[in-house]
Structure formats: structure tokens, C-alpha cells
Structure 1
Amino acid sequence: MKLDGIASFVAVAEAGSISEAARSLRLSKSVVSERLGELERSVGTILLHRTTRRLSVTEDGAAFLERAKRIVREVEEAAADLAERRGTLAGPMRIAAPITFGRLHLGPALFPFLAAHPQVELILDLDDRRVDIASGAYDGVIRHGVIADTRLMVWRLAPSRRFLVASADYLDREGTPRSIGELDRHKGLFYSNRGAADWRFLGPDGVEIVRAKVALRVNNGDMIRDAAIAGLGIGLLPTFIAGPEIRAGRLKLIDIGIRSEPEFVFLAHPEGRRPSAKLRALAEHLKRSFGDPPYWEEGMSIAAST
């Protein structure tokens, strides 16, 4: 049983096709197919059903897959550990992050890190859907929000503040709310991946959840920002998205007398797995790059709205 055959099987099972797996492995389809066939002969069973339309994992293949993933991961981590013992950060690193933050801030911070460590092979998955950190599919997951799950192994990268914002046109038409109770009659722009409890504030008696009338519910922060600029309603947006629009005057801050619940940009990694040296180095690099307070809040006169 050869390691390259196991790695090919894992890649095909995860990609759902030999073509996609071949691209990710930088091999030809024929080489991947040959390695799969050799692996199946060595284990004495069929691991994948192949038809002209689709490819699926057999029952035996599913039983073998989880251990195959662990084998590939352990070998990758062993090779990376040897490189780190020589003072070099090397090997694959899989990270997931939200789209807007990834495009606006994570990418510019990552590029110098990758240039300084050319042997690191970063696989970055930008997606606003929540990722199951415990699945082990990623070395680390970067997220923005409240750190509520104490089971997560979390490194805080930067504090993050969210503020109620709207266009001047909307506020001229509908009025400016001055208290949490006045928000009920306004139209809200909500981030759907947070569920129904998107607007959370710290009141004198603890967390208060506001559910305004829904004008738009969407799973992307850029869309909420643009909808607020278009005058469709009020959004509760982090400064890393809304900062430039606030400074330019296209969005106005709304002060209701209480703050939104404290949040962070954080990197979570699977519990029970020792984080690699390159993941720790990346976390420290991102913390330095973002700053405390983070650079995206510089030059903003928001003290009156806190």
C-alpha cells in the first residue's frame, strides 16, 4: 500500500471527481486513476464507484476514508515538523475565512507572510457559511463574532466593533432612532448566517436582542453595506466593512445609548490537535498586521456613539 495512492484516494473522495483531484494534486487524470487502481488491488476491495456521470465512495471506501485522511494528515504534519525543527515553516496549511474580511483585510495581511515563508503551501477557502471546526478539515478557521463556545481553541486576532449605520436619505425619511425601543419600527438589514439574533446589544440587564422589521436578510456583509448606502434600512456592521463609508459620509452612525455586544476577529483551531508552528506564526503575524486597536478604526470619530 503506497502513500501516494492513499493521498490520491482522499483527494478524489473529497473533490468528488478524478479531474478535480488531479488538478489539486497537479497530476494527470491517468496517473491518479492508476494510483487508485493500485490502492484498490492492495486492499482487495473497491473503494470508489465510477460511472460516466458520477463518482461515489463505496461502503468499504467510506470506512477506509477517515483513517486515510488521518494518515495523510499525520504524514504532512510529520514533514512540516521536521522542517520546523530546522527553523523553516513549510508544508500545507488549510484555512477558512469569511469572504468580505478575507478580501478586504486577510489577503493583504497574508501576502507578506507567504512571501517570507515560501515553503508554506496555503489553501485558503473563502466562504461566509459557518465551518465545523471540529471536523478537522481545516488547520484553522478565521471568523468574526462573539466567542461564545468555550470548547473552541481560540486565538484573538483583533477586537471588532459593530455599529448601527444608515444613509442620510433613510434617516431623513424615517427619522433617527435614539433608543433600543425605537428600533422596532425601523427596517433592518440582517446578516442571515447569524440567525434571528443578529442585533445584540449590552443593556443594563445583560444582552438585549433586537428584531426590527426585515428589509433584507443576506449572508454577505458587502451586500448589507451597499443596501444601507442605497437607503433601504439600518444595518449593524463591523467597522472593517463600514469604516470607509462612515469616513466618507455615505453612512451615518446611529447612537442608541448602548453598545453592541463585544466581538472579535479570531482564529479557531480543532480541539485536541496541537497547532503547528506555522499556524502559530500566522496568528502572531495577523495580530501584528491588524493592530490593537485595529487599523481599520483609525481616523474614525466614533467615541460619541459608544
Structure 2
Amino acid sequence: MLKLDGIAAFVAVAEAGSISEAARRLGLAKSVVSERVAELERVLGASLMQRTTRKLTLTVEGELFLERGRRILGEAAEARAEIAERRGSLSGPLRVAGPIGFGTLHLGRILSEFLRTHPAIELTVDLDDRFIDVASDGYDAVIRHGAVEDSRLIAKPLASSRRLLVAAPSYLEQHGTPSSLEELGGACAILYSNRGIDWRFRSGDGETILRPRACLRVNNGIMMREAATTGLGIALLPTFFIHAELASGSLRVLDVGAEAEGAQLFVAYPRNRSTSAKVTALVASLKQAIGSPPYWESAGPEEKR
């Protein structure tokens, strides 16, 4: 008979790459984890892992069983959660991904309040600016800044996100303040490397695409903001990164006669799963906490020229 604790031990070892690390993550002794995996192998009648003194690898049977084992554990967790939901409470695991910058600045407070409301939920949050395959990587939901084009996902808008051109007063004093797209073309730009190097603007004449000279390329919005506040160059950043700096005057908005291309914040979750009450509660909590318009749009004066 298959036991859930044996499946959980096997999946933990496969994901951790070692029995000792899996034991640490599970809070168990190494001998207990080894015994549970060995018992699972006896029940299945197959060796799932090849163990040497230097490394642990999965057999062909182990690779096949890993995906099914994850699914079994997930369904068992959802079953426990559904029973708890019927009793009027939300509980069990909830795995969420989000971008590093937005998560660092905003999600800590929002999700802490969510957990205070639903203390039985076991929340895991992974922050990463790389593309997350929500449907395949086992996440219940992901927060994204930008379009969600994956047909496997249901995307719920959280807030509109404006992007503003900003620079520190020290940079503008030294290099001057661009007042047109033409003048902006020669500026020293701090660019987000995970996105195209173009700056896109809309005006009465249609769309204009600029390819500014880069003085820094970086894949993190907070570092872009910090580089801009030191006077390194001009950055195009979402308002959720810079609302406090605009209010304090450490960054100023540049008016070049055109509006920068904006984006949307979304929360998305897999279409092929029934939407759990936990995900529904998470979406509602995010929307309520962010507000409409989002709280960072009314945090203070946005232009100090």
C-alpha cells in the first residue's frame, strides 16, 4: 500500500538532490527519510534512485514516478484544503511566484495581512524575474507585470502600471533636462535588461520608439531606481518602484511631450485546475490591498521639476 509520507520523502529527495538536504527540509532524521523511500521502493517493486557516495540520481522508473508523486501530493493537499473550506476555514499549501522588485517592495506587507486573515494557509512565495511556467512548475498563482499571453492561464488584472521617465536632480543639473523625445535620444539611460532595450512612447503623432545609449543594463528594477537616485542617468520605471522617491524629490519626472508605454499587473493561475477558495481569497486580498487606483499612485506629489 502506498503511503503519503513515503511519496513525500521520495519527492523531497528528488527535488533536493540528497537525502540529508531532504531530511533538513522535512524536519526529519536522515534514517527516517531513507526508510520511507526504501519502503516505497519495496511497495512499487522498483528502484527509484541510484545512490553513490558522491551523488544521487533518479532511475527511469524514478523519473516516471516523480511527476505522478507530485500530483498525488498536490491532490491530497487540495483534498485536505477542500474539507477545511467546507468547515469554513482556508488551510493547506499555497505556492505563489512574483517578480523580485514588486515582491520586495509590496508583497511582504500584503501577504502578511493575508496570512493574518487565513493563518492555517501554508504560503510559499518565490520571487524571480525570470519567466515562470505556472502551469508546469507547480505554482497555484503568479503575479506578473505585463501581458499574460499563456492560454493555459486565467489572468485577473490587479492594477494599471504607469511608467515614468525619472532622473535625480544632480543628473539634470549636470546634463540638462530633456524636454522632447529628440533631446532624450542623447541621454545616458539605465535600462532593464529583461525587457527590450527600446523606450516606447505615445503622442498625438502615434508611437515613437527610442533606442537610448545605455550607461547601465540590469535585470532588477530596484537597482535601476538606486542607480537613478545617485545621478547615474535617466530610467524608465513603473510608479510602484518610485512613488516614495517622487514624493521626497530624490527623483524627478521628465516631461518630454509623450507618454511612455504602460503595463498591467496581473495575478494568473492555471486554467485546467478548479479555482480553489485559497486562490480566490488571494486574488481578493491583493485587489483590496492595492486599491483602485493603486495606493502608490496617490502616495505623494509625482512631479518636482
TM-score (norm 2): 0.92
Offset at 1:150? 5.4
Residue 55 (1) aligns with residue 56 (2): yes
- When residues 78 and 205 of structure 1 are mapped into structure 2, their CA distance, relative to the original with a 3 A threshold, is farther
Match of 1:169 in 2: 170
Partner amino acid, structure 1, of 2:251: L
Mapping 1:265-280, distance limit 5 Å: 265-280=265-280
Mapping 1:128-167, distance limit 5 Å: 128-149=129-150, 152-167=153-168
Q: Distance in 2 between matches of 1:208 and 1:26?
A: 56
Secondary structure at the residue paired with 2:57?
strand
- When residues 148 and 3 of structure 1 are mapped into structure 2, their CA distance, relative to the original with a 3 A threshold, is closer
Deviations 1:235-291 (A, max 9, x none): 111112111111111111011222222322221112311221011101101111111
Match of 2:288 in 1: 288
Offset at 1:192? 1.7
Mapping 1:60-79, distance limit 5 Å: 60-79=61-80
- When residues 200 and 134 of structure 1 are mapped into structure 2, their CA distance, relative to the original with a 3 A threshold, is farther
Secondary structure at the residue paired with 1:185?
coil
Percent of aligned positions that are identical: 55
Residue 254 (1) aligns with residue 250 (2): no
- When residues 5 and 167 of structure 1 are mapped into structure 2, their CA distance, relative to the original with a 3 A threshold, is same
Partner amino acid, structure 2, of 1:220: N
Residue 11 (1) aligns with residue 6 (2): no
Q: Distance in 1 between matches of 2:57 and 2:208?
A: 47
**Regions of 4+ moved over 6 Å:** none
Q: Bigger shift: 282-291 or 2-11?
A: 2-11
- When residues 206 and 136 of structure 1 are mapped into structure 2, their CA distance, relative to the original with a 3 A threshold, is farther
Offset at 1:205? 6.7
Alignment gaps of 5+ in structure 1: none
Match of 1:80 in 2: 81
Q: Bigger shift: 274-283 or 95-104?
A: 95-104
Match of 1:200 in 2: 200
Q: Distance in 2 between matches of 1:86 and 1:299?
A: 40
Match of 2:218 in 1: 218
Offset at 1:208? 4.2
Secondary structure at the residue paired with 2:194?
helix
Q: Distance in 2 between matches of 1:204 and 1:51?
A: 68
Partner amino acid, structure 2, of 1:229: T
Aligned residues: 304
Q: Distance in 1 between matches of 2:208 and 2:3?
A: 57
Q: Distance in 2 between matches of 1:57 and 1:86?
A: 40
Q: Distance in 2 between matches of 1:241 and 1:19?
A: 40
Partner amino acid, structure 1, of 2:16: A
- When residues 82 and 212 of structure 1 are mapped into structure 2, their CA distance, relative to the original with a 3 A threshold, is same
Match of 2:92 in 1: 91
Partner amino acid, structure 2, of 1:6: I
Asked if 1 retains the 8 angstrom alpha-carbon contact of 2:101 and 2:221, the reply is yes
Q: Distance in 1 between matches of 2:269 and 2:116?
A: 23
Asked if 1 retains the 8 angstrom alpha-carbon contact of 2:252 and 2:304, the reply is no
Q: Distance in 2 between matches of 1:111 and 1:96?
A: 15
Asked if 2 retains the 8 angstrom alpha-carbon contact of 1:136 and 1:270, the reply is no
Secondary structure at the residue paired with 2:53?
coil
Match of 1:114 in 2: 115
Asked if 2 retains the 8 angstrom alpha-carbon contact of 1:147 and 1:264, the reply is no
Offset at 1:217? 1.1
Q: Distance in 2 between matches of 1:5 and 1:208?
A: 59
Partner amino acid, structure 2, of 1:276: S
Q: Bigger shift: 288-297 or 49-58?
A: 49-58
Q: Distance in 1 between matches of 2:139 and 2:176?
A: 46
Offset at 1:110? 1.1
TM-score (norm 1): 0.92
Asked if 1 retains the 8 angstrom alpha-carbon contact of 2:94 and 2:121, the reply is yes
Partner amino acid, structure 2, of 1:114: L
Offset at 1:28? 2.0
Q: Bigger shift: 71-80 or 202-211?
A: 202-211
Q: Distance in 2 between matches of 1:208 and 1:6?
A: 56
Offset at 1:147? 4.2
